[in-house]
Amino acid sequence: MTNRDLQTQYDKIYSYFKTTYEHFSDLEWNGKILFVWKDENITEKYSLKDLTGLIFNET
């Protein structure tokens, strides 16, 4: 996976979370796992499989 692919995925993830998730400080995406941060704590963790149907519109 290229950096461009990761950035495109991150942009989609960020857009989704910005409009649907109340409070987060940061999102950390490595192409496989998404960590949702609030302040200095990870509050949520999602796998690529979790995000595929939700954000990437793939089945």
Of residues 1 and 13, more confidence is placed in 13
Is the pLDDT higher at 47 or at 58? Answer: 47
**Which amino acid is residue 59, in one-letter code?**
T
Query: In this model, does residue 3 exceed pLDDT 60?
Result: yes
Query: Cα 4 from chain centroid?
Result: 15
The pLDDT tens digits for 13-57 are: 999 999 988 889 999 999 999 999 999 999 999 999 999 988 887
pTM summary value: 0.85
What count of other Cβ atoms lies within 10 Å of the Cβ of residue 13?
A: 19
In terms of C-beta density within 10 A (0-12 exposed, 13-18 middle, 19 or more buried), how is residue 38 classed? middle
Q: Are 55 and 13 in contact (CB under 8 A)?
A: yes
**The predicted structure's pLDDT at residue 58:** 58
